[in-house]
Structure 1
Amino acid sequence: MAENNTTFFFREIISDQIENGNLVLDQLSYKNAKVLKDIRECHTEQKGIAMSFCPHCGHTEYHNGSCHNACCPCCGTAARLKWTQKQQEYVLDAEYFHIVFTIPSELNILCLYDPEFMYNCLFDSVGQTLLDFSANPKYLGGMPGFYCALHTWGQKLDLHPHIHVVFCAGALSDSGEWVTPKKTTRDGKTFLFPVKELAAHFKNEFMSRLKEHFSSDDTFDKSKLNEAIQESDKKQWNVEIRESTGDPSHVIDYLGRYVNRVAITESRIVSYENGIVKFKYKDYRDNNEIKTMELTGQEFLRRFMMHIPPRYFNTKRGYGFLSSGRKGSLIPKLKELIKESKRQSDKVITITDVNPPKENPLIHFLSKVFPKQSIGRCKKCGSEMEYVSSWECLRLFGVPRTVFT
């Protein structure tokens, strides 16, 4: 069976650092140790054997099992596709904006000290800011809907906490009507919110929560805290409202690109030789030029672990009518309220076969027993392959679980 080398560099780096004594998993937090262990074992026999089959032609493939860890640079792609496909039913035929909220680098020391509070504070401040501006009749005058996704990294794997927001440019008013932004720019485009006022409000929300929390914390160095607060207060905080789109397919692309993501993907790693990791990064200060950077394996993993979220921490959250408690009941009503200005015909791809293959009893059985989980197109006929996980394979074929442990 051919081995999937998608996480080859990561496995090699982690294994090498463990062998050299630079990395001791037992000395790490539970979450960090689990993530590195999962990545090291991802797509190896230690994670079992999964299979995919084509219900159309009967083609079957076997794969080494995945770790399914959200921080894995390989499994993150599958999680992204699965999540974004699920969100398609919640996308409205409306304009969407991409907004980015960033905190000053002076607060990074507090993110390292108490990441769970700082990142929750970041979510709460962004959410409250957008809810307040949306409730203002001058802009929307109702309850909005938006997704937030936390990213803590920069292109060089340095600490750079910020939140990406996919914001639906519309709201549900108190009277039950669908309202849209009331202003346009000089070139006729939709005007959402004033950026400077948005940034100032976000800053006040964040700093008030920060000061209240750390005023009762006697374990952190007060001089460092005061210095971080003073320096942050002096700065003008950065909020960026980027391009908008009214195409639902582009909205799904936004969600996939920003809501489910890991600090660095395997494709960005160029090489790992003599203990040195060489990886690509985009230099935003130099016209987005692609450059390379070299780090020792130990430093590379240290930076990577900075971006592993706290245990049980949710890095993507919905607000307003896209919150988990509301979207199920409100989205169908909102779809009825919105008058669609454009109707795009759905393209249905059908696969014809002059001589359809004979029904395979095993494939028929698998289709009945296991829920449909797409894993890509069949190499033979182009139909959607369906997936059977490692442990389902064990149950199906009666393979002892000890074989893979």
Structure 2
Amino acid sequence: MSARLEVADIFRRHGEAYRQAHHGHLGRVERRVMSAIELCRTAALGGHIEECRACGAVRVAYNSCRNRHCPKCQTAVARDWLAARASELLPVPYFHVVFTLPAEIAAVAFQNKAVVYTILFRTAAETLRTIAADPRHLGAEIGLIAVLHSWGQTLTYHPHLHCIVPGGGPSPDGSRWISCRPGFFLAVRVLSRLFRRLFLEALRVAFEAGGLQFFGSIADLAGPAAFARLLAAARRRDWVVYAKPPFGGPEQVLAYLGRYTHRVAIANSRLVSLADGKVTFRWRDYRHGRKTKLMTLKADEFIRRFLLHTLPDGFHRIRHYGFLANGRRVARLASCRQLLAVRAPETAFRAEPVTDLPSLTHPCPCCGSPMITLAVWHHGQAPPPRSAWNDSS
């Protein structure tokens, strides 16, 4: 059985040609992402050699790159993150609200990711909290988790924010829990209009402060008159805010978060083939009944689209707001449970324990017995020869 195709295979085979062809337009972040994915779980990053003393099986394990854009390196991170979230769930309906930027604003976002993504997070959260606090709609303080995605199914640039929101919150005086109506959270038309106003105002402020840059096809937006026309046109458009039906329960919320929070632009499981310099992958056509289709791109174009979705250094693409904000989450959740008259849940979703003993690694894939580390090498070092393996029996 042939090995499954990975994004790393595409980068290893066509990455150097891509770097040469786009030498003057490839940024430091993109270069680092390409290098990390190419080297992930190869001898170049270091690793260890382990042996099963029960059956004699020997295995060489290479280190992961741990880059957040790497399709192979998100499973363990997502597992640990979800373990923490499981203990924070409340026994109430949870809703999924999506905020999407229109195409002309997305073009500005691509050239100003850190600034515009920050505005997107801030204004989407403010929109939800403001409308929820209004007694005409809910009249409660809410909490939410927001996750940034920038891709569509075909890897095109499509910045949008996924928000997971408990269906209710404490009253303004903190004396009672206010629940939303069954199956309904907040009116999306009201959310859309406020989001549009808040976002465009924040974008205008950023422009006037000199915080935006414009190149290539949108270079003319550097002029105040052209930028004002952009804002005016965007103000006339309906902005897409979409609220999905509520989740069935905490398990569904966790399953959903597991799929979305640490996702990268494309999973290795969607790749079909790499042949004749072309990449074929599966995608889902949501406009035509979610039908699964195949798309084939030249390797150069596939890499270009993948790199559209790199994030600026240090940028957090998962953020918490309201009573789920990081600084006060534990105390506020305890207060919410008191209002709901429920206990904190016992975490059913647990991360695997971490051992500090370097000699004990993974169970043997053949017999399940513990495997013993024989040798270790680090990034930049050559794997040790068999004669240098440390016999720790």
The separation in 2 between residues aligned to 1:334 and 1:60, in whole angstroms, is 52
- Give the secondary-structure state (helix, strand or coil) at the position aligned to 2:126: helix
Aligned mates of 1:310, 1:215 — CA distance in 2: 22
Counterpart of 1:45 (choices 40, 43, 46) is: 43
Work out the CA distance in 1 between the residues paired with 2:267 and 2:348: 32
For the 8 Å contact 1:7–1:39, the answer to whether it is kept is no
Q: Distance in 2 between matches of 1:66 and 1:7?
A: 17
Give the conservation status (yes or no) of the 8 Å contact 1:41–1:47.
Answer: yes
**Partner of residue 185, structure 2:** 192
What is aligned with 1:290?
A: 292
Distance in 2 (CA, whole Å) between partners of 1:93 and 1:50 is 44
CA distance in 2, matches of 1:147, 1:239: 16
Partner-residue secondary structure (3-state), 1:127: helix
CA–CA separation in structure 1 for the residues paired with 2:205 and 2:274: 45
Give the distance between the partners of 1:89 and 1:380, measured in 2 at CA: 35
Q: 2:260 aligns with which of 247, 254, 258?
A: 258
Shift in CA distance, 208/20, structure 1 to aligned 2, threshold 3 Å: closer
Q: 2:217 aligns to what?
A: none
SS in 2 for 1:241: strand
Matched residue pairs, number? Answer: 367
Farther-moved stretch of structure 1 (288-297 vs 169-178): 169-178
Once the two structures are TM-superposed, the CA of residue 210 in structure 1 deviates from its matched residue by 1.0
Deviation at 1:66, TM superposition (A): 1.1
> For residue 193 of structure 1, what is the amino acid of its counterpart?
L
Give 1:107 shift: 1.1
Corresponding letter in the other structure for 1:403: A
Cα distance in 2 between the residues matched to 1:338 and 1:110: 44
Aligned to 2:310: 308
Q: 1:230 aligned to 200, 219, 232, which one?
A: 232
Aligned equivalents of 1:46 and 1:156: distance in 2?
Answer: 32
Answer yes or no: is the 8 Å Cα contact 2:123–2:195 preserved in 1: yes
In the superposition, relative to structure 1, how do residues 290 and 246 fare at CA in structure 2: closer, same or farther (>3 Å)?
closer
Q: Name which of structure 1's ranges 25-34 and 315-324 shifts more when overlaid on structure 2.
A: 25-34
Match of 2:72 in 1: 74
Comparing 154-163 with 268-277, greater Cα deviation is found at 268-277
Instruction: Report % sequence identity.
Output: 29
Unaligned runs of 5+ in 1: 349-365
Contact 2:112 2:213 in 1 (8 A): no
Q: 1:197/1:272 Cα in 2 relative to 1: closer, same or farther (>3 Å)?
A: same
Q: Indicate the residue corresponding to 2:389 in structure 1.
A: none
Residue 403 of structure 1 aligns with which residue? 382
Q: Is the 8 A contact 2:47 2:376 kept in 1?
A: no
The answer on whether the counterparts of 2:197 and 2:235 sit within 8 Å (CA) in structure 1 is no
Given the alignment of the two structures, is residue 369 of structure 1 paired with residue 367 of structure 2, yes or no? no
CA distance in 2, matches of 1:234, 1:275: 43
Q: Which amino acid aligns with 2:382?
A: V
Q: In 1, are the aligned partners of 2:169 and 2:336 still within 8 Å (CA)?
A: no
The one-letter code of the counterpart of 2:299 is G
Q: Is the 8 A contact 1:11 1:41 kept in 2?
A: no
- 2-structure distance, mates of 1:398, 1:346: 35
Say if 2:124 and 2:195, in contact at 8 Å, map to a contact too.
yes
Equivalent residue, structure 1, for 2:178:
180
State the one-letter code of the partner of 2:201. Answer: S
Moved more, 211-220 or 137-146: 211-220
What is the CA–CA distance in structure 2 between the aligned matches of 1:297 and 1:368, rounded to whole Å? 42
Q: In the alignment, which residue of structure 2 is the partner of 1:361?
A: none
Cα shift at 1:14 = 4.1
1:125 to 120, 123, 126: 123
Please give the alpha-carbon distance, in whole angstroms, between the structure 2 residues aligned to 1:51 and 1:242.
Answer: 48
1:23 Cα deviation after fit: 5.1
Give 1:151's aligned residue.
149
Amino acid at match of 1:196: R
Offset, 1:136: 1.5
Q: Contact between 2:47 and 2:378, CA under 8 Å: does it hold in 1?
A: no
Q: CA deviation at 1:378?
A: 7.8
Once the 2 structures are TM-superposed, how far is the Cα of residue 65 of structure 1 from its aligned partner?
1.4
SS of 2:332 mapped into structure 1: helix
Measure the CA separation in 1 of the matches of 2:104 and 2:36: 33
Bigger drift between 119-128 and 329-338 goes to: 329-338
In 1: Cα distance, 2:27 partner to 2:309 partner: 13
8 Å contact 2:93–2:246 — kept in the other structure?
A: yes
- Taking the aligned partners of 1:204 and 1:346, their CA distance within structure 2 comes to 40
Query: Are the structure 2 counterparts of residues 192 and 298 from structure 1 closer, same or farther at C-alpha, using a change threshold of 3 Å?
Result: same
Question: How far, CA to CA, are the matches of 2:237 and 2:68 in structure 1?
Answer: 34
SS at match of 1:147: strand
Q: Which has the larger displacement, 138-147 or 10-19?
A: 10-19
Shift of 1:78: 2.7
Question: Is 2:315 the partner of 1:317?
Answer: no
Question: What's the CA shift string for 1:78-126, capped at 9, x where partnerless?
Answer: 3222211221111111110011111111112201221111111100110
| Matching residue of 1:163 | 161
Question: TM-score by structure 2 length?
Answer: 0.81
Distance 1:7 1:43, change over 3 A: farther
Provide the secondary structure at the position in 1 that maps to 2:110: helix
**Counterparts of 2:89 and 2:59, CA distance in 1:** 34
Q: Which amino acid aligns with 2:191?
A: L
Deviation at 1:50, TM superposition (A): 5.3
In structure 2, the CA distance between the partners of 1:105 and 1:346, relative to structure 1 (3 Å rule), is closer
CA distance in 1: counterparts of 2:113 and 2:355, whole angstroms: 44
Instruction: Give the one of 99, 102, 107 matched to 2:100.
Output: 102
Give, in whole Å, the separation in 1 of the partners of 2:269 and 2:194: 38
Contact 1:181 1:192 in 2 (8 A): no
Aligned counterpart, 1:206? 199
Q: Report Cα offsets for 1:217-253 as digits up to 9, x if no partner.
A: 3864236534432332221111111021251111111
**CA apart distance, 1:298:** 1.4
- Alpha-carbon distance in 1 for matches of 2:47, 2:23: 25
